[in-house]
Amino acid sequence: MSCTTILVGKNASYDGSTIIARDDDSGSGRYDPKRFVAVAPDDQPRHYRSVLSHVEIELPDNPCRYTIAPNVLNNRGILAEAGANEHNVAMSATETIAVNERVLGADPLVALQPADEANGKPETPGGIGEEDIITLVLPYVNTAREGVKRLAELLETYGTYESNGIIISDVDEIWYVETIGGHHWIARRVPDDKCAIIPNQLGIDYFDFDDAFSDAREFMCSADLQEFIETHHLGRAAGTQGGMNGGHCNPRIVFGTATAKDHIYNTPRAWYMYRYLDPADAENLTPESDDIPWCLEPENAVTVEDVDFLLGSHFEGTPYDPYGTQGTEESRHRYRPIGINRTGHMVAMQIRPYAPVESRSIMWISYGSGAFTTSAPFYANVDDTPAYLRDTTPEVSTDCLYWTNRLIATLADAHFYETSNAVEGFSEDVRSFGHCLVERTDDALATAGATDAPSVTARLAAANDEMADYLRKRNTKLLGDVLYTSSNLMHNSFAMSDRWN
C-alpha cells in the first residue's frame, strides 16, 4: 500500500513511549473507506483463506483479543493495516517497498496461478501479503520479537506475492521487517534513541550478519541470506559502494532500487521528514538524494503532534508545497507529498511504559487527508469500539468519521488559506481534548485501583466513546465552518441581495 512510516524509539519520544505510525493511502484510482474494530478471540478464524492469493492456512486455537483499523469493503481481504493486541504488541502492515530485478530473479514472488483447464492444471495459490499479515501474526504473539519470528515462519513457509515492510513493536522494542524476494527477509531493531523514516522504498541501510547469527540484539534475517547473496552475486552489484563487506552489508544497495520514479515519489518524503526531525544533519541532503539515512537521532524529543504533522505534511516551507507560494507552478507539483488526497487513515500506536499494562496502548487515529484533520487517542485494550469510527458505511454519510473528514478535506482543499484557521482550530481542540481525556482516564483508573480486566476494559471503552462523541460534535462544526466559507467563495456568488434580506 502506498504510505509513509515513522518509527520513534523509546528514548527519542517525549515520554519514553515507543511510537509506530503509518499513513495508509489507497492506490491511484480508488478510495478505501476505513473503520476501527475490536476482534474477540471467538471471532478470529481458525482456518484462514486469503481473498487475493487464495492461500489457505490453519491458525492456532489460542488467539488473543486485538484492535485493528481495516478496510470497510472486503473485496481485497481484511487489510487490518494497524493494530494492537491485549499483550501490548502493536503492528502496522504493510509499507509497500521495491526490490531490484536481480533479487526477484533469484527468489521470485509467489503469485497466484489461475487454473488452466485446457491443460488440466489446477489453481496454484499465491503467498501471503498485506491483506493477511496482521491477522496471521498479531493475535498470537506476546512480544515484538515473537512477532518477527512468527512472520518469518509464515514468509518462509508460504512466501509472499509482494515486497513489503512490516513494523512490530512492544513497550521495549520496535522491529522493522523487509521482505526480500518471495521467501527471504531482514529485520532491524530501531535504536532506542533514534527515529526511522520509510517512504515506500526499501530503507534499511546497514545490516550486521554477525549479530543476526549470534545474539540477534539488533538484527535478524533468513538463515540462508548470506549464501543467497553470494550464490546469486547480489553483493557484486554494488561494487565498492556498499555490497558485502565482511559481516556487514548495505541492504538498500544490495536489494533495493534507486530509480527516477523513486526520486519523484519516495526520496522527497524521506528528505522532508529528515529535514524536520534533524535539520542540522539534513543540510547536505536534497529531495532526490539516494543516501538519506534510514534512521536518525532527532534534534528534539518527538511528540505525537510531530508525527501527526509529518504524516499529513505537504512540504510546508519549501518550493515544493502544492498549497504554497514559493517556487513555481512546476516545483509545487514536482514531488509526491506525504499527506495526499488518497490517505485513508493514519494510525500512530503509542505504547507507554509508565501506564499499567491494561491501559498501556493507545491508537491515535485520523481518517482522510492528513492536511485537513488530526488524530485522536483511543485505548486499544477494549472489547468494542465507538460506532462513529466502527460503522463506516460504503456510501457517503456524515454519520461516520471517515466520510465527514473526506468531505471537509474536499471542500477545504479548494480554499486552503481561507479555511486554514478553522482546520487548525479543530486540530488544536481535538488534540487538547484527547490529551486531557487520556490523563483524566489514567488518573481515574489509578485512583479506583481497579485491577480486574473487565472493569478496566469497560472504563477504557467509555473513554473511547467520550472521545468519539467529542469528535462527532467538533467535526460537525468544522464541516459547517468550511462549508460556509467555501459557499461564499463559489464562482457564482453575488454579494447583492434583495431588500428584504
Residues marked as catalytic = 3
Q: How many CB atoms lie within 10 A of CB 108?
A: 13
Our measurement of the distance from residue 226's CA atom to the centroid of its chain's CA atoms, rounded to an integer in Å, reads: 30
CB-count burial class (<10 Å; 0-12, 13-18, 19+) for 501? exposed
| 3-state secondary structure (DSSP) of residue 473 | helix
What's the full length of the chain, in residues? Answer: 501
Q: What is the CA radius of gyration of the chain?
A: 23
| Residue 190 near residue 217 (C-beta atoms within 8 A) | no
C-alpha cell of residue 55: 492461500
**b/e map 172-190, b = 16+ CB within 10 Å:** ebbbbbbbbbbbbbbbbbb
Whole-Å CA distances, 304 to 21, 90, 174, 372, 403:
9, 16, 16, 17, 24
DSSP calls for 352-413: -TTS-GGG-EEEEEEES-GGG---EEEESS-S---HHHH---SS--TTSHHHHHHHHHHHHH
**Among candidate residues 142, 138, 140, 154, the one with its CA nearest the CA of residue 63:** 140
CA-to-CA separations, 43 to 56, 58, 64, 235, 272, in angstroms, rounded:
17, 15, 10, 46, 41
CA separation for the pair 192, 84 (Å, rounded): 20
Beta bridge partners of 92: 82, 167
Q: Which three cell numbers stand for residue 241?
A: 559502494
Task: Give the cell for residue 476.
Answer: 460537525
Beta strands in 181-331 (DSSP E): 184-189, 195-198, 207-208, 219-221, 248-249, 295-296
